[in-house]
Structure 1
Amino acid sequence: MSDILPLDVVGRRVEVNGEYATVRFCGAVPPVAGFHCVVLAGIELAMYPTGGSFVRPNKVNFGDDFLTALKKRYVLEDGPDDDEQSCSLKVGSKQVQTIGFEHITKKQSQLRALQDISLWNCAVSRAGEQGRIAEACPNIRVVNLSKNLLSTWDEVVLIAEQLKDLEALDLSENKLQFPSDSPTLTRTFSALKTLVLNKTGITWTEVLHCAPSWPVLEELYLKSNSISISERPVNVLQKMRLLDLSSNPSIDESQLSLIADLPRLEHLVLSDIGLSSIHFPDAKIGCKTSMFPALKYLIVNDNQISEWSFINELDKLQSLQALSCTRNPLTKGDKAEEIIIAKIGQLKTLNRCQILPEERRGAELDYRKAFGNEWRKAGGHPDPDKNRPNAEFLSAHPRYQLLCCKYGAPEDEELKTQQPFMLKNQLLTLKIKCSNQPEQQILEKQLPDSMTVQKVKGLLSRLLKVPVSELLLSYESSKMPGREIELENDLQPLQFYSVENGDCLLVRW
């Protein structure tokens, strides 16, 4: 570093003693006692945005151009014997001696072979001499330029226009100035599919101004930019499949409707934006919305979701398959995940865990039973002609009627409040018969009636040396000879199925 300043320093991003800053002033400062008058650079430190400091220019890192940083990162430094490497080369009629010719060729070959590069935290501040990037490394497709010293979108364009095959670009943590007007349409980003602009200070208006230059963009990451969605993306971002708006606390429910018409949006990240409600007004109870038509994956972690009406609304999304909603007030309960599964019929993955068919069946049966008495009080009835639950119940439980059609209305016995049992009455003496293995001896076991079907299967798996996944359970009641009752829900206890002393468990695999 020297006291010689580059041109146009005001507004540039710089690094000082490991801290990032923006130059706000450059010029002479009157001498202070004990100091000589020198040219200083006034900077606004990133960690103290409302303050600043005067620093000697030779203490400021103004950064490198793209190619210089690339060579520092990816090309071997000259070794001690490099100057001694030489070969003879004929130029016209003269024989000349070349120094380090093979070494230079090797370096050039290294650069031209690069396709996926990371210049994270490499103090890249500018594109450099026009055409040099395209000449040195024309095959680059993926570039990570996060946490550098780039200060304007125009400088990014100068880099990208030399990378004709650029498919993915990460510019996170560069404090960029974006154009306020729509940029001239060019083919600079004609192949770009993934763009990461986290913590760059971009606004939604600037996104839409730049978007015409991203004709095939599929993934856009805008985390931590204080974005507020102010207008619909008209004729732009129409091929976008993933949008990350997390950690933008200015976004609310009403703003989401402005991006609800994006035809290919499959993956939406809304974590940590303070979201508490969502509503799709075009769809009635039990119907599907036309909003977010392609949305399959929704992430709403770390929000303020506390009402089940939020989950009810998500069931209206016609394509939703995966939901992540951890660390919300609503999800703190023990049964929260089971209720979410029961409320969203098409969901296949919840909080990154696959929902197995038996898990869905168990959750829906439990939900049907848990709210059965409330359903009855609201006007529900096993007789279809008398089944008229009120609007309040249907609004709170929009899938309940469907679950009654799927599994049948809850019977009176299911809705009886379970009475506490004395310890001596909790153990059931049961026979265990392997139905498809007649040579297998009939076993007799004492099992607590609170034991779940799943745990019974685990016990039998160890006894019979058969994988749990292959076991099927049912039982014959001593009070109803000849009638076999399937134990279909692994999560329910034996008492749920009214298993009693002397009954016989039937095992198949």
Structure 2
Amino acid sequence: MDSLPLVGGRISYFGHLGTVKFIGEVENTTGIWLGIEWDNPDRGKHDGVKDGKRYFSCRVSNAGSFIRPSAQVIRGVSFLQALKAKYVEQFHGSASQEKVILGSSNGVIEVKAVNLDKIRSKFANLGRLREVSLENELVSRVDESGLIRETCPNVRGLDLSASLFSTWGIVADIAVELPVLQRLALNRNRFTEMTLDRSKMSTSFQSLTELQLNGTLISWREMQQVTSFMPRLVSVELGSNRLCELGFSAPIITHSQIRNINLEGNQCKVWTRICQSLSTYDQLERVILASNEIDSIAPPAHNSLILKKLEHISLSSNNLKSWNDLDALSIWGPSLTSLSVIGNPLVESGDEIRYSRPFIIARLPALCTLDSTAVSAKERTDSELFYLSYLSRRFSLHEPGFEMASLMREHPRWEALSKKHGTALGMSGISSHQDRLSRKLIEVQVQRHFACAPSEIGEWMDPTTVRALPTMSLKVFEHKVRKALKIDKESKTSFWLKMNDGTWAELSDNFHDLDWLGLETGSKVLCCVTTA
């Protein structure tokens, strides 16, 4: 290689990206070594320590190793070099005909094409580009001032994920020449220098509305510093950044319009601290907290922390175990209309998982979508009545020694739901609701079958009885059956209803309810299972 990279610079080595953390000699060896912190820590061998001596440190444990300088250490290309290499096919000359092999023929069919260079010249007009993806194209530097604007001024969406720049200055220099840039993806980059040039940053991102910083190891505070220069920003993604804490200080921002924040795949655990950080964004409508380590949700200590405009939150694949977490969530998000909780112990294990959907619907009064399935007005009514009847049985309202305080403390929605459905405590209304719901529940016989469609089925052997409200959608019914039959997530399922004439009809409309699909007590449903 012509020269050594700089400490803090980014390199690609046989397709693996890393940051140069050290350049120099290593004891008991000869020659120059490069100390690299790899983006993929699995490639590393140590933390910058060799034979007891520290040469550099890594942000991720054991992500470092030493390599020799060589031609295989690639330091990247300019923005326009990457753009032209990907979007401009080279001209082949003046010949009017070329031989082209049809890709779908596996090399068998060869045809002659006329004037392909004319077509290439049309597509070589980079000024027409609106969406540009230079992911993994190893962009490391900007071109001469003005050239990017001259070449592709109409770019609205730009993906620079897995590039080789290390400072925000280079990103700003590229963005300032794209005056209508609205969407910018910088996933899997590493910013080793967070000193921001205010004059440069303040003019570079004026039209930006979406920013992706997944897998960059950027901190919450650093994100706030960067986004303070983006006055129109609406959505920011910070997934898989190993974030344990966000931070409690007010954002460095004067005109925050951020409505969507994605924190999926981090290590955040303490709900109150998460919400303290999020509450500074008063326009927040959508939050993704899937695959974190949240294990409980306590009620807010005071109203200033409530996320008043929050409409959707994903808490999938966390560690929530208590129904009280959902009661507290309804206080944190009084406008919550959409929720994802699949993958939590609360809905995956325990004695009450078969009731999880109606229980959640009853606890969250504004909920319209649960785990990507719509909540109809009919399902809401049935769920709330079911919830009331369940509580009346559990707390034995008519028995001596019943304590209303205990009921209200554990189930704060009881009073509002009782008033809504005209159920007065101590009266016969509850029993009436219980009777109504008991009559509505249907019992379906479900048999597992290891095939993609029905075949010869003899006598049903130990079918599983699944009880469900007829207002339940087929999609929710499928989830319920998967739990009951312990079908793994990788396997595919299809459902077939046995008709009166002995034939099988596939149930394929996930969003129709069971009643509409013709299921009733005694119906036989075949669950066909195929492994992925």
Global fold match (TM > 0.5)? yes
Query: Counterpart in 2 of 1:156?
Result: 171
Query: Counterpart in 2 of 1:298?
Result: 313
Give runs of aligned pairs for residues 87-486 of structure 1, distance below 5 A.
106=121, 110-180=125-195, 183-184=198-199, 186-227=202-243, 228-230=245-247, 231-233=249-251, 235-236=253-254, 238-255=256-273, 256-281=275-300, 291-316=306-331, 317-332=333-348, 333-377=353-397, 390-409=404-423, 410-412=429-431, 454=470
> Distance between the aligned counterparts of 1:56 and 1:107, measured in 2?
42
Q: Which runs of 5+ in 2 are unaligned?
A: 48-63, 98-116, 424-428, 444-465, 472-496, 502-508, 510-514, 523-532
Alignment check: 8 A CA contact 2:128 2:154 kept: yes
Query: Counterpart in 2 of 1:498?
Result: none
Displacement of 1:117 in angstroms is 0.7
Query: Counterpart in 2 of 1:15?
Result: 12
Displacement of 1:127 in angstroms is 1.6
Query: Counterpart in 1 of 2:75?
Result: 62
> Distance between the aligned counterparts of 1:232 and 1:77, measured in 2?
52
Identity, in percent, stands at 27
> Distance between the aligned counterparts of 1:229 and 1:61, measured in 2?
35
Alignment check: 8 A CA contact 1:178 1:202 kept: no
Closer, same or farther in 2 for the Cα pair 1:372/1:5, shift >3 Å?
same
Displacement of 1:146 in angstroms is 0.9
Alignment check: 8 A CA contact 1:217 1:237 kept: no
Closer, same or farther in 2 for the Cα pair 1:367/1:28, shift >3 Å?
closer
> Distance between the aligned counterparts of 2:196 and 2:408, measured in 1?
49
Name the SS of the counterpart of 2:361 in structure 1.
helix
1:44 aligns with 2:37: yes
Query: C-alpha offsets along residues 34-62 of structure 1, whole Å, 9 cap, x if unaligned?
Result: xxx86654433333162312223212111
Alignment check: 8 A CA contact 1:342 1:363 kept: yes
Give runs of aligned pairs for residues 481-492 of structure 1, distance below 5 A.
none
Displacement of 1:240 in angstroms is 0.4
Structure 2 letter corresponding to 1:5: S
Alignment check: 8 A CA contact 2:168 2:196 kept: no
Query: C-alpha offsets along residues 355-378 of structure 1, whole Å, 9 cap, x if unaligned?
Result: 112211221111111110344449
Alignment check: 8 A CA contact 1:211 1:236 kept: no
Query: Counterpart in 1 of 2:426?
Result: none
Query: Counterpart in 2 of 1:502?
Result: none
Closer, same or farther in 2 for the Cα pair 1:105/1:453, shift >3 Å?
closer
Query: C-alpha offsets along residues 400-426 of structure 1, whole Å, 9 cap, x if unaligned?
Result: 12222222334446669x99xxxxxx9
Alignment check: 8 A CA contact 1:229 1:251 kept: no
Closer, same or farther in 2 for the Cα pair 1:493/1:173, shift >3 Å?
same
> Distance between the aligned counterparts of 2:301 and 2:15, measured in 1?
52
For these two proteins, the number of residue pairs brought into alignment is 406
Alignment check: 8 A CA contact 1:243 1:268 kept: yes
> Distance between the aligned counterparts of 2:400 and 2:369, measured in 1?
31
Displacement of 1:394 in angstroms is 0.8
Name the SS of the counterpart of 1:315 in structure 2.
helix
Q: Which runs of 5+ in 1 are unaligned?
A: 85-101, 382-387, 420-425, 427-449, 469-486, 495-509
Displacement of 1:194 in angstroms is 0.2
Alignment check: 8 A CA contact 2:8 2:192 kept: no
> Distance between the aligned counterparts of 2:186 and 2:126, measured in 1?
21
> Distance between the aligned counterparts of 1:493 and 1:114, measured in 2?
58
Alignment check: 8 A CA contact 2:362 2:387 kept: yes
Alignment check: 8 A CA contact 2:10 2:165 kept: yes
RMSD: 4.0
Structure 1 letter corresponding to 2:263: L
Displacement of 1:318 in angstroms is 2.2
Name the SS of the counterpart of 2:37 in structure 1.
strand
> Distance between the aligned counterparts of 1:294 and 1:280, measured in 2?
17
Closer, same or farther in 2 for the Cα pair 1:70/1:56, shift >3 Å?
same
Alignment check: 8 A CA contact 1:10 1:23 kept: yes
Structure 2 letter corresponding to 1:122: E
Name the SS of the counterpart of 2:92 in structure 1.
coil
Alignment check: 8 A CA contact 1:197 1:220 kept: yes
Displacement of 1:451 in angstroms is 9.1
Closer, same or farther in 2 for the Cα pair 1:10/1:243, shift >3 Å?
same
Name the SS of the counterpart of 1:335 in structure 2.
helix
> Distance between the aligned counterparts of 2:185 and 2:399, measured in 1?
57
> Distance between the aligned counterparts of 1:30 and 1:392, measured in 2?
70
Alignment check: 8 A CA contact 2:87 2:124 kept: no
Query: C-alpha offsets along residues 214-245 of structure 1, whole Å, 9 cap, x if unaligned?
Result: 11100000112233221222534620010011
Structure 2 letter corresponding to 1:353: T
> Distance between the aligned counterparts of 1:239 and 1:298, measured in 2?
18
Closer, same or farther in 2 for the Cα pair 1:182/1:11, shift >3 Å?
closer
> Distance between the aligned counterparts of 2:154 and 2:469, measured in 1?
59
Structure 1 letter corresponding to 2:229: S
> Distance between the aligned counterparts of 1:206 and 1:379, measured in 2?
59
> Distance between the aligned counterparts of 2:118 and 2:14, measured in 1?
35
